[in-house]
Amino acid sequence: MFSEEEEDCVFFESAMNLKKWPHMVTECVPLPREVGDLAPIYFKKAILESEGEWTQNKKLIELRGRDIRRAVPKALPYFSCDFGNESGFAHVIEEEREFPKNFAQEIIGGMLDLDHSIWRKPKREDFELQMARINEFKEKWKKYDFSTKTE
* Phi, psi of 137, rounded to the nearest 5 degrees: -65, -45
- Residue 36's region, left for phi above 0, alpha for psi from -120 to 50, else beta, is alpha
Burial tier of 83 (Cβ tally within 10 Å: 0-12, 13-18, 19+): buried
C-beta separation of 62 from 81 below 8 A: no
- Those residues whose C-beta lies under 8 Å from the C-beta of residue 136, and which sit 6 or more positions away, are none
* Digit-coded pLDDT (tens) for 10-56: 999 999 988 888 888 899 999 999 999 999 999 999 999 887 665 67
Pairwise CA distance, residues 56 & 100, whole Å: 19
The per-residue pLDDT for range 53-77, each reduced to its tens digit, is: 656 777 899 999 888 888 998 889 9
- In this prediction the pTM is 0.84
